[in-house]
């Protein structure tokens, strides 16, 4: 790829083409910021040594970001990168003698392939279930979940929330588990967003009893405790970050650092193929739904994995009664199971 080709490709991703003054300012500030990031990462390598084993990957990313902002700045200033490179080499050659003719770490590489962005931004729906996955272990492509307070919530305290899918209560009643009420009890909405947009949620697989036990390796790695802990951890992390950003109300983008962390934490899982754009949509759609459920106290959340959409609507009175009935039955079954366990233990 030559400089002019790169400059043309880079320009296609400038998100502020309708506002030249704003765009040039962002490009210049971004250039300074990315140079600072490169300096910080180099400082860590010098200071801490070999613990930063991914320094090559980090350097490629940092230099790539710098190159993009240089190209964008050049475009707004009406200058071609090829012209800049040629003029710079001519200036240097007129002042300094030429030294080594080959790069010390240069490796022969093939041509660089430029990926094309999907027409509909995040691309077609994903499914991590294979044809060998039994139907009963596949994620449903459409799913409706009723989210409402447990009928056994404690008076005077924030209600504990139970998601209900069909005739099943999905897990135990959830509270905020915080000193200050913040609505985290509705965080299963984030798992539903992961399900709808990414086609992935080990948490929902477990709650819906859709773990892929027919494939023990997949069940252990993709649907096991570690994957569940990663998803729960990411949900808590993003929620904390969102709390400092009005829970993304009115937001159209998510901080790139958040998106990079989501991808990094899931890189070794099947969802590792999902892009930052997909994670961004999952997060923004998830918080849009969370704000609606938090505001109304209950709602029906509809996941369409084929359309990659997450929809929220009010509950009907009949659905509230159904939710209460399912929760009461789940509590009774749990109490019965506990009594039987106690009786068996006493008889030993």
| Band of pLDDT at residue 187, cut at 50, 70 and 90 | very high
Q: Would you say 280 and 308 are in contact if contact means Cβ atoms under 8 Å apart?
A: no
CA distance linking residue 156 with residue 344, whole number of Å? 37
CA distance linking residue 282 with residue 278, whole number of Å? 6
252 or 237: whose pLDDT is higher?
237
Q: Would you say 199 and 125 are in contact if contact means Cβ atoms under 8 Å apart?
A: yes
236 or 55: whose pLDDT is higher?
236
Q: Residue 51's pLDDT is what?
A: 56
Q: Residue 11's pLDDT is what?
A: 93
CA distance linking residue 79 with residue 114, whole number of Å? 22
CA distance linking residue 129 with residue 185, whole number of Å? 29
- Helix H segments across the chain? 3-11, 20-48, 55-76, 81-93, 188-193, 202-207, 216-221, 225-243, 256-265, 276-296, 317-347
Mean pLDDT, rounded, for 48-62: 75
**Parallel, antiparallel, or unpaired: how do β-strands 299-304 and 309-313 relate?**
antiparallel
What's the start-to-end Cα distance of the chain, in Å? 75
Supply the DSSP string of 284-305, one letter for each residue.
Answer: HHHHHHHHHHHHHS-EEEEEET
CA distance linking residue 186 with residue 189, whole number of Å? 6
**Mean pLDDT, the chain, whole residue set:** 89
For residue 69 the two structure tokens come to 């902002």
Q: Residue 113's pLDDT is what?
A: 44
CA distance linking residue 285 with residue 302, whole number of Å? 12
For residue 142 the two structure tokens come to 């459409």
In the chain, what are the domains?
A: 3-93 (1.10.287.1080), 135-335 (no CATH)
334 or 313: whose pLDDT is higher?
313
- The predicted-structure confidence for 76-109, as pLDDT tens digits, reads as follows 999 999 999 999 998 888 777 787 777 776 454 4
Residue 221, pLDDT > 90, answer yes
The pTM assigned to this predicted structure is 0.77
Phi-psi label, residue 242: left if phi above 0, alpha if psi -120 to 50, beta otherwise: alpha
Q: Residue 42's pLDDT is what?
A: 87
Q: Residue 348's pLDDT is what?
A: 67
Largest separation between any pair of C-alpha atoms in the chain? 95
Q: Would you say 251 and 285 are in contact if contact means Cβ atoms under 8 Å apart?
A: no
% of the chain with per-residue pLDDT over 70: 92
| Band of pLDDT at residue 233, cut at 50, 70 and 90 | very high
């Amino acid at each position: 790829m030559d400089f002019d080709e790169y400059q043309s490709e880079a320009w296609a991703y400038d998100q502020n083409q309708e506002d030249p003054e704003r765009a040039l300012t962002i490009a210049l500030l971004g250039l300074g910021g990315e140079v600072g990031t490169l300096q910080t990462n180099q400082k860590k390598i010098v200071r801490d040594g070999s613990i930063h084993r991914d320094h090559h990957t980090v350097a490629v990313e940092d230099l790539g970001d710098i190159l993009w902002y240089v190209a964008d700045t050049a475009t707004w200033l009406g200058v071609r990168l090829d012209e800049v490179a040629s003029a710079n080499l001519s200036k240097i050659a007129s002042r300094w003698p030429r030294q080594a003719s080959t790069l010390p770490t240069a490796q022969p590489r093939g041509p660089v392939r430029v990926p094309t962005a999907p027409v509909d931004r995040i691309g077609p729906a994903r499914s991590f279930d294979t044809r060998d996955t039994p139907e009963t272990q596949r994620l449903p492509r459409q799913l409706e979940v009723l989210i409402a307070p447990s009928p056994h919530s404690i008076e005077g305290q924030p209600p504990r929330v139970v998601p209900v899918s069909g005739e099943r209560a999905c897990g135990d009643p959830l509270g905020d588990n915080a000193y200050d009420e913040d609505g985290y009890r509705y965080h299963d909405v984030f798992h539903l967003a992961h399900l709808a947009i990414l086609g992935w949620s080990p948490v929902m697989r477990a709650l819906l009893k859709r773990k892929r036990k027919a494939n023990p390796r997949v069940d252990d790695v993709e649907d096991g405790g570690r994957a569940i802990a990663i998803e729960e951890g990411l949900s808590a992390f993003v929620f904390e970050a969102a709390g400092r950003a009005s829970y993304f109300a009115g937001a159209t983008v998510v901080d790139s650092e958040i998106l990079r962390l989501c991808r990094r934490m899931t890189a070794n899982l099947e969802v590792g193929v999902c892009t930052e754009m997909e994670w961004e949509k999952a997060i923004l759609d998830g918080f849009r739904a969370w704000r609606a459920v938090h505001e109304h106290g209950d709602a029906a959340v509809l996941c369409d994995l084929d359309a990659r959409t997450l929809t929220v609507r009010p509950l009907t009175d009949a659905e509230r009664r159904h939710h209460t009935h399912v929760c009461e039955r789940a509590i009774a079954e749990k109490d019965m199971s506990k009594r039987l366990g106690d009786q068996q233990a006493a008889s030993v």
